[in-house]
Amino acid sequence: MAGKNTAIRDSVRGIMGPDPHLIKNLAYIGGRWVAAQGEKTFSVLNPVDLAVLADVPDMGKADVHAAIDAAAQAFASWSALSPVERADILEKWSSLIAQKAQDLALLMTYEQGKPLSEAQGEATAAAATIRWCAEEGRRLYGEFIEGHRPGTNIVVSRRPAGVCGAITPWNFPVGMITRKVGPALAAGCTVVLKPAEATPLCALALAALAEEAGIPPGVLNIVTSANAAEIGEVLTSDPRVRKISFTGSTAVGRKLMAQAARNIQKVSLELGGNAPFIVFPSADLEKAVSGAIASKFRNAGQTCICANRIYIHTDVYAPFIEMFLNKIKELKVGPGWEPDVAIGPLIDKEAAQKVEKLVADASAKGAKILCGGKRHALGGSFFEPTLIENVQDDAPIAREEIFGPVAVIYSFETEDEVVARANATEYGLASYIYTQDLAQAWRVSGSLDYGMVALNEPLLATDLAPFGGIKTSGIGREGGRYGLLEYTDLKYRLFG
């Protein structure tokens, strides 16, 4: 891999320990490591200091067409394997991801900025996702039904949807890929994936492990590009692509859904959220406080299920704030590879500016900043862990995804009031309730207009359960049996 950034790539290799082959600066199409046909590249930056980690291919139309060609060709043989044969290969991939979890985690921390411990958790979970999908792929059972006329029989089976286009964000640069590619491949589909331009190296490292695991050429293709709209346009206009799976902003999801309408492609969309985190008087306050820390500050607040609005009952408001504030002040900010760091940098300068603007707006309208509230002394895109109160329900910081380490607390008095306020949003992804009152837990979890409700637990993403939202938070689910079914079509056969 000679090239102008050899020295820089060598320094990245330095962090990779014994396995430099996971650092790739070429895209992966049809089982080959390739440059862009136009030979353009773009730089991948470390968000801590904007050092260039590598240059990767800046691909366009012709490259995506080549990737779709490869995926369409591979579909015939991959879908014809038995689920057990596919599972064997996917299990090898899972084992390799598990073995290399430490290397993947380092790469993730360097490329995306999250603390190393979180990156390790993500890499390990990614291996588990692939294993779960491999196992579940064996259970794509159909159904036999006695027919509607004497002597007729009905057979309903699941078929792989076909070539899938996947577009992933940067906040979980490994996990967002495995939760799409795992079920797709297990169901017998092939994939053309465009990772976020901020984090292509993690995607390419996963492809290197897929290659090593024996996933056949063309089954998984990675197209790197700084021109997302062009790639999305091709993926949604080629009639051979039968399914689009996207995680990202609601604005882009809306566009892709409209584009996918042209060929009636199936769509799965995981979009924005505005999660309420509600603490009732009976809650175990210690648990609620540490839950709020975990939910709000993971990945520096850059997740679509982060607690975006924290509602505390007036009876426990003062003690909650005191305990929460103390814990927030303990959060160490710094480069994710340093020991004990809890908050890394935001992904880029624009992200920090957006958070700064939301805080400034809230503050101008009378909000009280209890700690933090500004860029961190480390500079760059680091932002101080922040706690704010006295925010109006209609302020932008209450309506939009904050996507930064800023916790906003609201007080409430009655259950009906807080449920109405929690539901007063266009979003419907994750929600959280802390209560020890069982009847209240059932009542409120039933009334929240969200795809997911967590009770006395801050981390709800798991391979076992259907992750996803309602309203403008998206359509379709990832995880569990349901996630796999998204990559299949039903076929009904009538036997006379």
Give the C-alpha separation, 163 to 275, whole Å.
33
Give the C-alpha separation, 57 to 3, whole Å.
12
Please state the closest distance from residue 235 (CB atom) to ligand ADP, in A.
8
Parallel, antiparallel, or unpaired: how do β-strands 41-45 and 52-57 relate?
antiparallel
Residue placing its CB nearer to ligand ADP in the complex, 249 or 436: 249
* Residue 250, token pair as written in the block: 């609601």
Residue placing its CB nearer to ligand ADP in the complex, 255 or 481: 255
* Residue 276, token pair as written in the block: 């309420």
Q: Is 167 in the site for ligand ADP (CB under 6 A)?
A: yes
Q: Is 228 in the site for ligand ADP (CB under 6 A)?
A: yes
Q: Is 102 in the site for ligand ADP (CB under 6 A)?
A: no
Cβ atoms within 10 A of the Cβ of 129, count?
26
Counting Cβ atoms within 10 Å, is residue 4 exposed (0-12), middle (13-18) or buried (19+)? exposed
Q: Is 165 in the site for ligand ADP (CB under 6 A)?
A: no
Q: Is 255 in the site for ligand ADP (CB under 6 A)?
A: yes
Q: Is 229 in the site for ligand ADP (CB under 6 A)?
A: yes
Examine the residue annotation and report whether 133 is marked as an active-site residue of this protein: no
Residue placing its CB nearer to ligand ADP in the complex, 168 or 473: 168
CB 373 within 8 A of CB 363: yes
* Residue 23, token pair as written in the block: 């650092």
Residue placing its CB nearer to ligand ADP in the complex, 228 or 455: 228
Site string for ligand ADP, 178-207 (x = CB under 6 A): ----------------x-xx----------
Nearest Cα residue to 346 out of 308, 354, 174: 354
Please state the closest distance from residue 326 (CB atom) to ligand ADP, in A.
31
Count residues near ligand ADP (CB under 6 A).
Answer: 14
Site string for ligand ADP, 111-150 (x = CB under 6 A): ----------------------------------------
Give the C-alpha separation, 196 to 223, whole Å.
10
Give the C-alpha separation, 64 to 231, whole Å.
7
Please state the closest distance from residue 168 (CB atom) to ligand ADP, in A.
6
Please state the closest distance from residue 176 (CB atom) to ligand ADP, in A.
9
* Residue 309, token pair as written in the block: 């609005």
Q: Is 248 in the site for ligand ADP (CB under 6 A)?
A: yes
Q: Is 232 in the site for ligand ADP (CB under 6 A)?
A: yes
Please state the separation of Cα 495 from the chain's center in Å. Answer: 43
CB 130 within 8 A of CB 484: no
Q: Is 252 in the site for ligand ADP (CB under 6 A)?
A: yes
Q: Is 61 helix (H, G, I), strand (E, B) or coil?
A: helix
Q: Is 154 helix (H, G, I), strand (E, B) or coil?
A: strand
Examine the residue annotation and report whether 304 is marked as an active-site residue of this protein: yes
Please state the closest distance from residue 250 (CB atom) to ligand ADP, in A.
8
| Chain length of the chain | 496
* Residue 56, token pair as written in the block: 């990767």
Q: Is 162 in the site for ligand ADP (CB under 6 A)?
A: no
Candidates 166-174, 337-345, 363-371, 446-454 — which segment interacts with ligand ADP by CB under 6 A? 166-174
| Catalytic residue chosen out of the listed positions 118, 270, 384, 389 | 270
Spell out where 87-173 has E strands: 143-146, 153-160, 163-167
Please state the closest distance from residue 259 (CB atom) to ligand ADP, in A.
8
Residue placing its CB nearer to ligand ADP in the complex, 197 or 212: 197
Residue placing its CB nearer to ligand ADP in the complex, 165 or 291: 165
Q: Is 398 in the site for ligand ADP (CB under 6 A)?
A: no
Please state the closest distance from residue 346 (CB atom) to ligand ADP, in A.
12
Q: Is 265 in the site for ligand ADP (CB under 6 A)?
A: no
Residue placing its CB nearer to ligand ADP in the complex, 167 or 267: 167
Q: Is the dihedral of CA 218, 221, 225, 227 positive or negative?
A: positive
DSSP labels for 173-201?
A: TTHHHHHHHHHHHHHT-EEEEE--TT-HH
**Which residues carry out catalysis?**
270, 304
Binding site for ligand ADP (CB under 6 A): 167-169, 194, 196-197, 228-229, 232, 248-249, 252, 255-256
